[in-house]
Amino acid sequence: MMIALVFAVVVATVSVALFFLEWRKRRVYSKYMDKIAVSIGEETGAPPLYIYERLRKKLGELEQRVIETERERRNVFTILNNITDPIIIVRGDGVVTFSNIAGRDVTRPGVEGRKVYEVVENYHLLEMFEKALQTGEIQSGDISLVVNGETRYYDAKVVPIKLDQESERYIIVLHDTTKEKQLDKLRREFISNVSHELRTPLTSIHGYAEALLDDDLSNKDLVRRFLGIIESESARMTRLINDLLDLEKLESGEAKFNFTIVDMCQVIERVLSIVEPIADDYGVEVRWTCEGEKFVYGDFDRLVQLVLNLVDNAVKYTSLKESGEKSVTVRCFEKDDKVVFEVSDTGPGIPEEAQRRLFERFYRVDKARSRKVGGTGLGLSIVKTIAEKHNAKIEFESKLGQGTTFRVIFNKPQVKEEQDDAAV
Ligand code: ADP
């Protein structure tokens, strides 16, 4: 009896203890469940299975978001790398954390992870970085860097960015302004050249007109001579302005080209009818050969202009030779699949150091010589532009004191029928 009682008490105690333990476990379990529910934005007391489902969904979403963030991050780097302006990101302690591909081209190798002072070779840019570091303000300025042995100009900016309380970044952005700088230089040179070219004849016209006004005009020969100078100087100005306008039209693409099949022999004949009387006056003999028909695809009037400029130069500059043979030979012939127009003279020739600049606007080997023959310094620029429009190549060779040969090499027309049509 006693044993049974003791056994019952033990069983009851163990049961109570087990019940209590189970109750505690459940409480702890539901407390944590509630915590999880709250952390994922659900109501407390929701069934565990429901919370498990919600939790699984949330984890899936998070995983997706991490993948997307990583993809975004990679996209941002791809975009930065494809920007053609150099971009370099520097930490406050001067260490470069990122450089895009263009940035690597303008810095020393191994830019990332190195101090900006070690990889950027421009004192002014480093000074801008220092100033941005001290003031926390955007710095900008013009700098130049040597890239692949060539000087390039940049509009540089250093932009400080605060990421959070402790960290900040300095973004160095360089915008290449080399082209603008070169265009600006060309524009300034052009304006100064045009002003100079116009001022010379204007000064002359003004001077002779003033002299006439001050004179009693009794010496008819003097008056005639001065008026002659005024007339030729104003004609020079007109020629200059016409050449300028023409060149501008050609280069801007405004000039209309009427492309057809053209016989270069006809072009040469037309030019010679203009040049031969002048050549006679200058005492220069002009010979020419153009057998049969030499077809090219081009604009007849523009080809006349091209040939005229070259033959006219040859005649005029040869006429300035003090002694020896004064002749110009014009030829047109076929070579392989090309049509070659050639004009050679026995003139003064062009010095080697001047040959490189011959086709530049206003370039003259000898200013006085060009002036003497009424040159504008634009003839060869016009020739070059017209040749380019015809996909033709220009070659020349010249020996000082012996003469010059210019060659314009055209492609033969491709379309057989067009050639036949033109020949009719
Ligand atoms: P310009 O109007 O002065 O003749 P161009 O552009 O036609 O200008 O020619 C540029 C320069 O090239 C000339 O000033 C001249 O010095 C030189 N030149 C051109 N053709 C010849 C030539 N056949 N012989 C010698 N010099 C030439």
- Give the residue extent of every domain in the chain: 30-82, 85-176, 181-252, 260-419
For ligand 1, atom 19, name the residue with the nearest CA.
Answer: 313
- Class for the domain spanning 85-176: alpha beta
Distance 364 CA to ligand 1 centre (A): 6
Q: Tokens representing 381?
A: 């620029």
Residue pair 325/401 in contact (Cβ under 8 Å)? The answer is no
Query: Which atom of ligand 1 sits closest to the CA of residue 381?
Result: 6
pLDDT value, residue 255: 87
Closest CA to 361 of 252, 267, 286, 251: 251
Distance 335 CA to ligand 1 centre (A): 27
Distance 247 CA to ligand 1 centre (A): 16
Tell me which CATH homologous superfamily contains domain 260-419. Answer: Histidine kinase-like ATPase, C-terminal domain (3.30.565.10)
Distance 53 CA to ligand 1 centre (A): 89
Q: How far apart, in whole angstroms, are the C-alpha atoms of residue 16 and residue 18?
A: 5
pLDDT value, residue 294: 95
Burial profile 386-424: b = 16 or more Cβ within 10 angstroms, e = fewer: bbebbebebebebeeeebbbbbbbbeebeeeeeeeeeee
For ligand 1, atom 23, name the residue with the nearest CA.
Answer: 314
Using CB distances shorter than 6 Å, the residues near ligand 1 are: 313-314, 317, 345, 347-348, 350, 358, 363-366, 370, 375-381, 404
Give residue 390's Cα distance to chain centre: 23
Residue pair 369/320 in contact (Cβ under 8 Å)? The answer is yes
CATH topology classification for 181-252 = Helix Hairpins (1.10.287)
Contacts 24+ apart (CB under 8 A), 150-155: 152/106, 152/176, 152/178, 153/177, 153/178, 153/181, 154/86
pLDDT value, residue 423: 43
Per-residue model confidence as pLDDT tens for the chain (424 residues): 778 888 888 888 888 888 888 888 888 888 888 888 888 888 888 888 888 888 899 899 999 999 999 999 999 989 999 999 999 999 999 999 999 999 999 999 999 999 999 999 999 999 999 999 999 999 999 999 998 889 999 999 999 998 877 789 999 999 999 999 999 998 898 888 889 889 989 999 999 999 999 999 999 999 999 999 999 999 989 999 999 999 989 988 888 899 999 999 999 999 999 999 999 999 999 999 998 899 999 999 999 999 999 999 999 999 998 889 999 999 999 998 999 999 999 999 999 999 999 999 888 888 888 878 888 889 999 999 999 999 999 999 999 999 999 999 999 997 654 544 544 3
Q: How far apart, in whole angstroms, are the C-alpha atoms of residue 220 and residue 173?
A: 72
Q: What is the pTM for the complete model shown?
A: 0.66
Distance 313 CA to ligand 1 centre (A): 6
Neighbours of 377 (CB within 10 A): 18
Q: How far apart, in whole angstroms, are the C-alpha atoms of residue 362 and residue 196?
A: 10
